[in-house]
Structure 1
Amino acid sequence: MTIATSADGTSIAFSSRGDGRTVVIVNGALSTAADAGPLADALVDAGFRAVTWDRRSRGGSGDRAGSMPDDEVADLAAVIAAAGGSDAVLGHSSGAVLALYAGAQGVPTGALFLSEPPIDFDGSGYGPDLAERLQSLVDDGRPAEAVTAFQLEAVGLPREMVDAGRTSGMLDALALLGQSTVYDVRLTSRLRRPGRELLEVAPPVTVLRGAQTFPFLMASSDRLASESPDAELVIVPESVMHRPDPVATARVVAERM
C-alpha cells in the first residue's frame, strides 16, 4: 500500500494495479479496499489501471476525531493526486455519494460512474441525530452496537438479517469499521435533498443499478439519472441486491471511456 496525505494530515492508504487509463474505486459502507479487489481485477482485465483505497477510519488509513464529509472529499482528492490523476471515479453506495459530492466540489475525478447511490431526495430517511448516537456508541467502546444501529436505521436491513450477522460472527469483523458508520451517515445527510450544484456536476455521469435491488436504491438511482441533465442510467442485470457484478460493471465503464 502507498500512503497519500490528506489536507488535514490524515494518512490514506491506497494501491494500484494494471496499466492504462486510471479508474479510482470508492467503496461503500462497512467495506475496505480489499473488498474492491474483484472489481479492480475486472477493470484491469478490461485494460484499465485500478486504484483502490481505504476511506478514513478503515483498514490501513488513519482518522481524525470530528471528521466531516469535506474531509472525505479531501481524502479522495489526495488519492487522485498521489496516483497521478484520474480518468474516472467509480463509486458504489455511499462511495457513489462521495464521488458525486467530490465532483461537485471541483475534485478532478474524470468521468463519474455512480453505482446505486443512496441519496435521500425527499428527506424522509433516518432522523438527524443518528450520527451523534452512533458516535456515542463508538466513544463508549461499543462499535458493534454502532454497526447494528447503522444497519437497522440507515441501511434499513431487516432485524433477522442483522441478527444472523451477529450469530455468524460477521458483526465482530464489522465492528472494526464502527467509526466509519458515523462518517457515512454524515455524508449521506449532507446530500439529502440535493441541490442543482450536485445534479449539474461538470464531469460526465453514468448511474448504474441492478435490475433487482432494494426499492430505495432503485428509486434513488433512477431519480438521480432523471434529474441530472446529462446523466445516463444503465441497468446492470448481473448486479443483484446491491452487489455490483465486477465483470459487468467493468464492461459498462469500458464502453463509455
Structure 2
Amino acid sequence: MDTVTSADGTSIAYDRLGSGEPLILVGGALCDRHALRPLADELASHFDVVTYDRRGRGDSGDTTPYAVQREVEDIDAVLTAVGGTAAIYGHSSGAGLAAIAAGTGLPFTKVVLHEPPYGPDDADSSEDGERVLELIRAGENQEAVELFLLMTGMPKPEALQIAATPGLADVAPTLAYDFAVMDEGTGTGGTPVDLLRAIKLDTLVLAGTASAPFMVDAAHRIVTILPAAELIELADQHHVVPPELLAPVVTDFLSRR
C-alpha cells in the first residue's frame, strides 16, 4: 500500500499491480480498494493497475465538509502519483465519479463507465436517498445499507444477506458521498447532460443485459450524449461482472490505437 496527500490534506491509500500504461479503477458505493482487486489481477498483465480507497473508506482518511470536488482532487492526486496520465475505469457510482473527473479535463487517455446508476430523467430519486440518509443519522446503518441495496434493484434476500456482512455497516455514512456524486449536474440523480458532453475522450459504456432495467436504460441514454462513445452490452451479466469476463472487454478497448 502507498499513500498520497490530496489537495485538502486527506491521505488517500492506493495499491499498484502489474506493468504497462497506468489504469485507475474507481469503486462504487460501500467498496474499498480491495473490492476491485480481482479485476486488477486480471488486468495486471496488460496495465499498471491502480486501485484506491475513496475518502472515508479503508485506509484513506476523510475531511469535512464533504464535496464532490474533493473526490475529484483525490483522483488527481493519485493520477499525479502514478505518472500524470492514465486511463480510468469506474463502476456504478464510481463510474459517476469517473465521469465527473474526466469532464474536468484531467489528463486521462480513455474512459470506461460501467453502469453509472443515473435514474430516469422524469423521476427524482433524491427522496429515496434521503430515506437512506435518515437511517444513517439515526444510527441504523445496517438498515440503511439494506434499503440502498434494494434501491439498486437487488432482490431482498440478497440485500439482507449482504447488508449483514461484517464491517459493511461501518462505511454506510459514505453513501452520502455516492448520492452527492450521482446528483452532480442535476440535483435529482438524473442524466447530467452538460457534464457528460464535457468528456471529449474516447469512452466505453458497459451494461449487463441482466442488470436492473434502469441501469441498462441509463447506459443507452448516456452513450448518445457522450461526444465519442460506444456501448457494449454484456450478455446475461448483472451489475457485478466476473472479472475474467470483464477484463478482456476493458483490455480490448483500452488497447486500441
Above 0.5 in TM-score? yes
Q: Do the aligned partners of residues 178 and 197 (structure 1) sit closer, same or farther apart at CA in structure 2, a change above 3 Å counting?
A: closer
Distance across 2 between alignment mates of 1:63 and 1:91: 21
Pairs within 5 Å for 1:197-208 = 197-208=195-206
Q: Do the aligned partners of residues 120 and 39 (structure 1) sit closer, same or farther apart at CA in structure 2, a change above 3 Å counting?
A: same
Secondary structure class of the residue paired with 1:16: strand
> RMSD value over aligned CA atoms?
2.1
Shift of 1:178: 1.0
Distance across 1 between alignment mates of 2:32 and 2:226: 29
Q: Give the match for residue 239 of structure 2.
A: 242
Residue 35 (structure 1) aligned with residue 32 (structure 2): no
Q: Give the match for residue 85 of structure 1.
A: 84
Q: Which runs of 5 or more structure 2 residues have no equivalent in the other structure?
A: none
Distance across 2 between alignment mates of 1:150 and 1:68: 21
AA paired with 2:192? P
Distance across 1 between alignment mates of 2:93 and 2:135: 21
Shift of 1:146: 2.8
**Match among 175, 192, 207 for residue 181 of structure 1:** 175
Q: Which runs of 5 or more structure 1 residues have no equivalent in the other structure?
A: none
Number of residue pairs matched? Answer: 250
Shift of 1:129: 7.7
Secondary structure class of the residue paired with 1:240: coil
Residue 213 (structure 1) aligned with residue 207 (structure 2): no
Contact 2:104 2:198 in 1 (8 A): no
Q: Do the aligned partners of residues 42 and 26 (structure 1) sit closer, same or farther apart at CA in structure 2, a change above 3 Å counting?
A: same
Q: Give the match for residue 111 of structure 2.
A: 112
AA paired with 1:80? L
TM-score by length of 2: 0.88
Shift of 1:253: 2.6
AA paired with 2:59? G
Distance across 2 between alignment mates of 1:12 and 1:90: 18
Secondary structure class of the residue paired with 2:8: coil
Q: Give the match for residue 97 of structure 1.
A: 96
Shift of 1:120: 2.6
Contact 2:146 2:159 in 1 (8 A): yes
Greater alpha carbon shift after TM alignment, 82-91 vs 52-61: 82-91
Distance across 1 between alignment mates of 2:223 and 2:157: 33
Q: Give the match for residue 160 of structure 2.
A: 163
Q: Do the aligned partners of residues 138 and 250 (structure 1) sit closer, same or farther apart at CA in structure 2, a change above 3 Å counting?
A: same
TM-score by length of 1: 0.88
